[in-house]
Amino acid sequence: MAHKSLGEKYLLGSGRVPKIVDHDERRLELVDATWRIIARLGIESATMREIATEAGFANGALKPYFPTKDTLLTFAFGHVFNRTNERIAEVTSGLSGLAALRAFCVEVLPLDEERINEARIVIPFWQKAINDPGKAQIHRESMQQWLDAIRRHLAEARDSGDVSTAVDDDSLAGQLLNMLLGAQIAAALLPEGQTDLGLDRQLEGFLSLLTR
Amino acid sequence: MAHKSLGEKYLLGSGRVPKIVDHDERRLELVDATWRIIARLGIESATMREIATEAGFANGALKPYFPTKDTLLTFAFGHVFNRTNERIAEVTSGLSGLAALRAFCVEVLPLDEERINEARIVIPFWQKAINDPGKAQIHRESMQQWLDAIRRHLAEARDSGDVSTAVDDDSLAGQLLNMLLGAQIAAALLPEGQTDLGLDRQLEGFLSLLTR
DNA sequence: TTTTATTTTCTATAGTTGTAGAGAATAAGC
DNA sequence: GCTTATTCTCTACAACTATAGAAAATAAAA
């Protein structure tokens, strides 16, 4: 069954009783609850019952909004990427070159509790993607997008002279992206409470390597 | 109950009938079967039944060798680290400085099908470690060990003049380690059959950044 | 062959999971 | 109050899980 689209609350059908719940909004609420469970208890504890309870509902209440658990999880994971990309767009808007690159990385790196939680969500996604070609492709497409952005900033930085190394941008972009991904792992496996890994210093170090 | 140690096959106890099975050897066989299942079907399919079947046994046959599933998995994951570290020791023995560092990275990077499979095993481990402090600590200790090795090689490379960047070794080591971890993710999520990510070129690129 | 220690199979159990769907509860319009 | 569309709860169920342990099978020594 197709899901209803935003705004349906005010677009009545042939019936006389309007919808009470905005389905899109509800889906986001459920996704929020899912994130909280995964961040707090881990993906193993993210059962339909647990998620429903966290969202304030009983067992079967998720069905009309997500017909299966996989639908819910795929939507939830996709939303992490969207949110991150929105934040990236915000912080890099108006910037270019090395400044944009720095802002990009600072936004992706797990530097505070919130982004460490996002790391705790993306790692289970990676694990599921290993045996789920659809999820793996979502990941590859997102990473391709990030690689393009990084290369764009690198090219700008070369124009302005901030990047002058003989190492080519394709290689540099790959190195930087892998660093960003690796940092997610280190951060997610930090002991409770600890948040500092010296990642900001690592970033500055890498960026300063780019100037010959 | 404590497990029996290697060599018991020939060291008879008070009974008159010798053990048929070398328990340590059997444990390694079971770990091998576990790896194969995880690499081929994913951690979700790594049930006790599936592992037993893969190893050529029936359901309950694992019990005497691993009392619980967690025991088996922890042992299996630990064995990945041990094997990798043994390989590292082999390929870096006799080397120092940049050559040792290169050999280290080449051994850890998922450059062929076998090491891509290892990436498909370590990612589920990371995921489990997120909510299992014991496993997280195993990871941190191993990474600390790798960081020390990287720093040692960097220091040697500085002595010989191969590394001359102003960026300090702690930062460089962190960058490199994160690159290595991130590469595992990219490799594990590659489409079936594909193995090339340009990681060797990335490595050479990074290493050449270290010489001013 | 008989004995005995060891190994393996097989069945049973208690728990958890995603999913389905009937019915109750709810809210809006008459 | 009554009607009706929608939403939610609750129970049920089939599948699958790790684990336990009795019984059978096995292999070596006597």
Nearest nucleotide to the CA of B18, by C1', is D28
The integer distance in angstroms from the CA atom of A186 to the C1' atom of C3 is: 58
d(Cα A204, Cα A175) in Å, to the nearest integer?
14
The predicted structure's pLDDT at residue B194: 87
Q: Longest Cα pair distance anywhere in chain B, in angstroms?
A: 71
Contact B91/B114 with Cβ under 8 angstroms? no
CA atoms within a 13 Å half-sphere pointing along the CA-CB vector of B68: 4
Query: Where does residue A158 rank: exposed (0-12), middle (13-18), buried (19+ CB within 10 A)?
Result: middle
| Distance to chain A for B92, nearest Cα, Å | 23
How does DSSP classify residue A131? T
What three-state secondary structure class fits A62? helix
pLDDT at B167 over 50: yes
d(Cα B100, Cα B159) in Å, to the nearest integer?
14
d(Cα A182, Cα B176) in Å, to the nearest integer?
9
Count contacts between A and B (CB, < 8 Å): 146
Mean pLDDT of B166-190: 97
- Chain B residue with minimum CA distance to A133: B191
User: In this complex, which protein residues place their C-beta within 7 A of any atom belonging to strand C?
Assistant: A 16-18, 20, 45-50, 59-60, 63, 67-70; B 13, 15-21, 23, 26, 52, 56-61, 63-64
Is the C-beta atom of B106 closer than 7 angstroms to strand D? Answer: no
Count CB-CB contacts under 10 A for residue A69.
Answer: 14
d(Cα B164, Cα B211) in Å, to the nearest integer?
5
> Quick one: tokens of A3?
């899901």
Q: What DSSP line would sit under A5-47, residue for residue?
A: PTTGGGS--SSSSPPSS-HHHHHHHHHHHHHHHHHHH-GGG--
d(Cα A143, Cα A108) in Å, to the nearest integer?
12
Contact B31/B23 with Cβ under 8 angstroms? no
Strand D, nucleotides < 7 Å from a protein CB: these are 4-12, 16-22, 27-30
Chain B residues whose beta carbon lies within 8 Å of the beta carbon of residue A205: 167-168, 171-172, 175
The integer distance in angstroms from the CA atom of B117 to the C1' atom of C18 is: 30
| Distance to chain A for B3, nearest Cα, Å | 30
What is the amino acid identity at position B133? P
**Percentage of chain B exceeding pLDDT 70:** 91
pLDDT at B205 over 50: yes
Domains within chain A, CATH numbers bracketed: 20-67 (1.10.10), 69-212 (1.10.357.10)
Instruction: For residue B19, name the pLDDT band (cuts at 50, 70, 90).
Output: low
| Distance to chain A for B151, nearest Cα, Å | 14
CA gyration radius, chain A: 20
Nearest nucleotide to the CA of A58, by C1', is D9
Match 């328990």 to its residue by tokens. Answer: B23
Nearest nucleotide to the CA of A19, by C1', is D6
What three-state secondary structure class fits A154? helix
Our measurement of the distance from residue B199's CA atom to the centroid of its chain's CA atoms, rounded to an integer in Å, reads: 18
Match 């340009």 to its residue by tokens. Answer: B198
Mean pLDDT of B27-41: 96
Q: What DSSP line would sit under chain B, residue for residue?
A: -PPPPTTGGGS--SSSSPPSS-HHHHHHHHHHHHHHHHHHH-GGG--HHHHHHHHT--GGGGTTT-SSHHHHHHHHHHHHHHHHHHHHHHHHTT--HHHHHHHHHHHHS--SHHHHHHHHHHHHHHHHHHT-HHHHHHHHHHHHHHHHHHHHHHHHHHHTTS---SS-HHHHHHHHHHHHHHHHHHHHTS-TT----SHHHHHHHHHHHT--
> Quick one: tokens of A61?
């209440």
d(Cα A69, Cα B37) in Å, to the nearest integer?
24
Contact B106/B176 with Cβ under 8 angstroms? no
Count CB-CB contacts under 10 A for residue A45.
Answer: 13
d(Cα A179, Cα B176) in Å, to the nearest integer?
8
Question: Residue-wise pLDDT tens for chain A (212 aa)?
Answer: 223 333 333 333 333 444 677 889 999 999 999 999 999 999 999 999 999 999 999 999 999 999 999 999 999 999 989 999 999 999 999 999 999 999 999 999 999 999 999 999 999 999 999 999 999 999 999 999 999 999 999 999 999 999 999 999 999 999 999 999 999 999 999 998 888 899 999 999 999 999 98
The predicted structure's pLDDT at residue B196: 87
Is the C-beta atom of A128 closer than 7 angstroms to strand D? Answer: no
pTM: 0.91
